[in-house]
Structure formats: structure tokens, C-alpha cells
Chain A
Amino acid sequence: MPLRRSVLLLLFLLSSYSIHATAAALDTRSMFQRVSKAIVQVKISNIQSGEKSSIGSGFFVSNDGFLITNYHVISSVVREPGEYQIQLILSEGEIEKAELVDIDLIHDLALLKSSVTPPVALRFHQGAVEKGSELASIGNPHDLGMTVVKGSYSGTLSDSLYERIHFTGAINPGMSGGPALNVANEVVGINVATAGNEVGFLVPASYGDRLLQRARIEQSRDIDAIMNEQLLENQQRFSQAIFDSGFPLTEMGEFMVPDRWGEFIRCWGDSDNDEKMPYQIVTKQCSTEDDIYIDQDYSTGEIAIEHRLISSDELSAYRFSSLYGSYYADLPSTYADEEDVTSFACQSNFVHNGKLKMKIALCLRRHIKFEGLYDLVLKGATMERDSYGVQTSLLVTGIARDNALKLARKYINSFGWKE
């Protein structure tokens, strides 16, 4: 979703100029004094050239040198092994090295280990947080030095596949990976993203705690294998959510078509009734708001559905079919790099699902580095009437083959006539 990303980016930039002047019930000055030694700047630099490629924030969570930051801060270390190194800039300015221990790709977290013995380590808050509680997010925005941003806990997002805390406060670039603390100086969440205008997002602290606990009991493992496993687990989770939804249907003209499968999928409607045009199009688009970031050009775990009701009273059957064909060729963005996925392989047929006749193209491609992960594109068009039909496209990225086919089958089977 390039549009969504650019809007996010714009909002990011705007938000960095907003001014925060709110009365304090939370004493940020004393908090900062107490915790600042636990917070570091994380700098990823190229080993060859020494140039920094990304910066973020991080914080110590144990006295033996474990730190938490965001996966997206350190992703180049994972994606181009041997080319980048992780450096920590401590509160007094000393530079130390750190190694990557574990990641939680789905929640955008990474656990680092350094040989530093920090004077302070932060604790994770256990249990629920009251909505409206004051929080302070700490980090290093725009490489300008450590700052504290006050805000409040506004609950968790209900319409996301990936659990996030809504933080009302300005999180800026560079603050990624920093902690958001409550009055007891406990970590409630980890800064991860912003939608601008005081809308920030945090990863719930429990996921950071889980990473730390896992590092205490498990041997260190190959990061690629961990990513593979997490991606497979995640697709199983969202596939199950879809299968459990009972496949609700919605009306589209004279047809019944698949509706969204839960709140994690958002829908928009649009109709195109330009009087100059000899045809009418009603569009319904649904997609997930988030995806899983792997690197700059590679994200996955997206679901997008689109239905289009296309009709015309004026066009002849043949001319209508030209219109119908041009929309049949149209798909949501499937961009990915050659190093990450194969080309698509497609099967195309006229299919009768017992209710409707449709022309269907089902395309699959495989992820190269992640075994068992596929992208599914399904395009369908009803072939029942001359100048009236509904077209659909379904895009699911990062799904196992069997789940993809099961989902595609249920999807095709759910089309029918309106009662």
C-alpha cells in the first residue's frame, strides 16, 4: 500500500514540528534522571564504509546487558549479514557493540545483547493498564538527543492483526525502539510507529518480556529460521481467524459476495457514476491496515479484497466485454523483489461453483528465503450476463500453500445470487 505509507511518512514529518506543552502530573524530569542511563541510541552502520544506515532507540532490560529495540531499526543486520554492525551510544556518549540475539518479527521487536553492565535496567509492567493512564515515551528523535514525550494510554487497537497500543502522544522517527513508561517507571510499551497528530503506536510490553524470558531459557538460534517460523505461525493465526469468521456474505447488485472476515480488515466503498460514461462501477475494497515489515522493499502478511460491480445499459455485449476485460486485468499491487519471491504461476479456467459461472485465475508465488510461505492472487469475474457482472480480486501475502488454497476454495464457493 504505497499510498498509505506515503501518508504515514508525511504525517511523520509533520508531527516532528508539533509542539507539546501539557501540564504534568507525571514528573518527567525526575523520571528522566532515573531511567536515562538505561536508554541508548541504536546505530546501524556499514562495516566497510562506517556510514550509518539507520538509527533508533533501545533500552536495557537486564543487568547482564540485554536490550530491546525494534526489529525495523536493526533489519539491515538481519537482511544483509556481515555487512552491518550494531552500535550502542550510551547516555554518556560511549560507543559499545551489541549482538542480535532474537527477534519478534510479527511485533517488530529485537533483543540485543551487549557486554555493558548498565547502571539501570528497566522492568516490564505486568498486567492490564487503565485507559487514559499517563505514559512517557522516551527516545532520540531525529538524532537530536534523548527526549521525553508525554502522552496517554488509549487502549489497544481492535482493527489490527497485530496487537498495538494506541498512545496519544508524538512519537517521532528515531524514537523507534524506545520505551514508554508509566508513573512507576515500568515499560508499558515500546515505541514503534506513528500516524502523526499525536497518534502513536506502541508494542505491548508483554512481547518484549516474552523475548527476554525466551533468551534466558533457549539456546540462540539462526535468525532466518526464527523469522521463517514466526511468519508461518502468524499466517496460521490469521488464516484461522478467517476460517473461524464463518465467511460472512454481503450484497453486491444481484450477487452475494464475500464480506470482510473481521475487524482487522477495513473496508471502503466507492461508486463511479460519471454520466458521460456509458457504464457504472461500484467498488468495495477491504484490506488489512498493517503488514509485517521485513525490509525496505519486502513486507508481507497483507490481505486485500476488492469487488467491483460493473454494469451498462448502453454498451453492446462485445464492447462491454472490452470494459470487463480491462478491469479483469487490474490487480492490487503485488510488487516484490526478485531476490525475495518467485514469479507467479497461474491457473485460469471457467469455473461453476454450483451457483454461478465465473472466469477465475488463481496465481501463486513462493517466497524464496522463507520455506512454505506463498503469495496468493485470485481474480474472478462472473460470466452470467452480457452487460452485467461482478469482479473480484483477493490478495493474501505470506500464507502457507494449503491455507491459501483452502481460503481460495471457500472464497470461490461463497459467490452466489442474491436471494
Chain B
Amino acid sequence: MIILEQIDHLGRVKERYRLDSNRVRVGRGFDNDIIINDPFVCAHHVEIEARENNGITVHDLDSVNGIFAYGNNKRTEKLQLNSGERMRIGHTLLRYYSIHHPVAESRQDRLSTDLFNDLLNSSVVLWSGYLLLALLSALSSYLGSYSEFEMLELFRAQLLPYAFVLLVWPGFWALLSRITTHSFYFRAHSIIATVILLSSLLYDEFAEPILRFSFSLDDSLELISYLISFSLMGIAFYAHLRFCSAQSSKRLALYAISFAVVIVSLAYMEDYDSGQEYSSYPEYHAAMMPPAFQMTEEVSVDEFFARVESLDSVLQREIDRHNEEQ
């Protein structure tokens, strides 16, 4: 049994033939076993004969242009090919396979097999995401307002920017997907973006103010905020990348983490810079919540003033820094 492939110069298969006999004739004539539409191929160009050891022998049938081993420009009368090797007749490339040729392990199709991808492809999920985002941002602006609540203001300040982001960001990734995988996956990218926006809205508008209200530990809260933005960013990049590349999950995760590290460190550097800047305005956490949201015990006046002592070293550092600059 002989398997022959007609391939292009990149090795991509144009035609594949599976022949039961052990002797096969190839040419442009219609009486051949394999008919090749190439003006540089003769009517009867070669005869192929199967050998014992999974190989073949190719005989030139007195053709005009002859036969060549792949990558060799010297015409030859007879050619031995092992399974997987190529040859050229006329302008046509052929590759031979024996039926025992091993194939690569099958790759898992992430884009259509797991539950996640089903969810990411569902318009119900997408529209519920949009709705939830709109509701939550409406709720947060309602709770954050203490005079009259204005719908128009909500549209202008919250929903319009979200709508803009939800067009541009997934649009960018969809274009990237189209370039790399020939499909847009716009819905999947939109769902990913919506989920990330929802999570950051929940953290920024609800979780963080509650944490800020209860814990006055500036540095650790800042660390938590950085960790959360790092995780969200990492997850977002990873999810988007899966629809842009067929590379292994491990590698994609690595890319995603690297992106997230770069962006979070840039943000950190900027925050650090502005934190070092002089301000004539005292910076303390002004976030307020109903008393029931208080998660830490109150301290006694004595304990409070014991903690105030720690300000001395902070101020001394400021003075030292100022003296150094002089």
C-alpha cells in the first residue's frame, strides 16, 4: 500500500492519494493511477514500486524533465524514498508515506470542547454580563449619591465609558484573533472583558471601600489592591490570548503573567513617584460606611496615641530627605 501526497513548497497537503496496489504509475495522462495537472510532467512520468522495508523505488519513464530528490537539483534515473521523504517531478512536489508512519499525538481542541468555551460562546452569557454590569454600576452610583439621583448622569459618567471600553477592547483582541486564527471570536473576547470589568467594579466600588473603611493599614491595603489588579489583568490576558494562539496553556500563562507584571509595575512606579511628592493636603482614608460595616475593633484613646508615636519616624525621614536635597 502506498500513500502519496501532492504538497506545496511549505509542505502543506494539496492532494492526498491512497493506493492499494504495490506498483503505481504517475503522469499527466488520464490512464495513470495518479493524474497530475502540471504541464512540466509527462503523460507517463514515473513508476513507483513498493519495497519490502516500508520504502518505495521511483523509476523515471524516460520523461522530458526527469525526477529529482527533494532539495537536490541533479536529475536521477531511479530514486529510493523512505516514509515521509519528498521528491519532485516537473513543478510538482510529492511526499511518500507508508501506512505504518507514526502520527503526532492528537491535540486537544480547546476552542470547542470545554464548558468554558461553551460559556464564552453564549450570547445569553454575554447579554447577562452587560446587564449585570449596567445594574451594578447603577447601584454603585445610586449608593454613592446623596442628593437626587440622575439617570442622565449615570449614562454619561458610567455607562457610556463602559460601552466604549466594551467595543474597543474586545475589538482589538478580535482583530488579533482574526489575524492569527482566522476567526474573530468577538463574543468570547467581549465576555472576557465584561467579566473583568465586573470584577474590578465589584472590588473598586464595594470591596475596597469596605476594606479601606475598616482597616487603616495603608501599605497592606495597597498591596492587596496591586495583587487584585495583577490577578485580574493576568486572567484577562490569558483568556484573551487563548483565542489568539494555539500555543500551550503553560506558555500562554507565562505571556499573560509577563504582561500583567509589566503593566502593574508601571502603575506601581507611577504611584510610588506621586507618593513621594510633596502634598500640602493630609492624606488619610476618608471612605465611610455604615457603622455595621466596621470589621476592626475600636482602640482606646491611649492605644491610639501610642500608635500616633509612629508618625515621628515618618516625619524624621521627611526632614532627612529634605536636608539631603539641600
Contacts and interface: CB of A to CB of B under 8 A. Distances in A.
Interface stretch (A92-100, A244-252, A362-370): A362-370
B290 A386 contact: yes
Interface in A308-356: 312, 315-326, 328-329, 331, 334-338, 341-354
A279 B298 contact: no
Given A317-B292, A323-B146, A386-B290, A364 B299 contact: no
A385 interface: yes
Interface string A230-261: 00000000000000000000000000000000
A346 B144 contact: no
B284 A325 contact: no
A241 B146 CA distance: 41
B146 A319 contact: yes
A360 interface: yes
A413 interface: yes
B289 interface: yes
Interface stretch (A134-142, A148-156, A183-191, A375-383): A375-383
Given A319-B143, A322-B146, A331 B282 contact: yes
A346 B282 contact: yes
A405 interface: yes
Given A319-B146, A322-B146, A364-B315, A347 B290 contact: no
B164 interface: no
Max chain A Cβ within 10 angstroms of own Cβ: one of B280, B312, B322? B280
Interface stretch (B19-27, B95-103, B155-163, B300-308): B300-308
Given A343-B279, A351-B299, A360 B290 contact: no
A412 B284 CA distance: 17
Chain A facing B: main interface SS: mixed
Nearest to A357: B298
A312 to B, nearest CB: 8
Given A318-B143, A368-B319, A409-B305, A343 B278 contact: yes
Interface residues of B, number: 43
A256 to B, nearest CB: 16
A362 to B, nearest CB: 6
B297 interface: yes
A347 B146 contact: no
Interface size of A as a range: 35 or more
Given A345-B314, A366-B319, A334 B283 contact: no
A277 interface: yes
B247 interface: no
A385 B291 contact: yes
Contacts of B312: 401
A384 interface: yes
B126 to A, nearest CB: 30
Contact of B145 (A319, A335, A412): A319
A389 to B, nearest CB: 9
Max chain B Cβ within 10 angstroms of own Cβ: one of A312, A344, A352, A381? A344
Given A343-B278, A351-B298, A405 B290 contact: no
A89 interface: no
Given A352-B298, A386-B291, A325 B286 contact: yes
B310 interface: yes
Interface of A: 276-279, 312, 315-326, 328-329, 331, 334-338, 341-354, 357, 359-366, 368, 377, 379, 381, 383-386, 401, 405, 408-409, 412-413
23 contacts: A318-B143, A318-B289, A318-B290, A320-B146, A321-B290, A322-B143, A322-B144, A322-B146, A326-B146, A326-B286, A334-B280, A343-B318, A344-B279, A349-B304, A350-B294, A350-B298, A351-B298, A361-B282, A361-B286, A363-B284, A365-B318, A368-B319, A386-B290
Given A276-B148, A384-B291, A385-B291, 5 more contacts: A342-B319, A342-B322, A343-B279, A349-B304, A363-B282
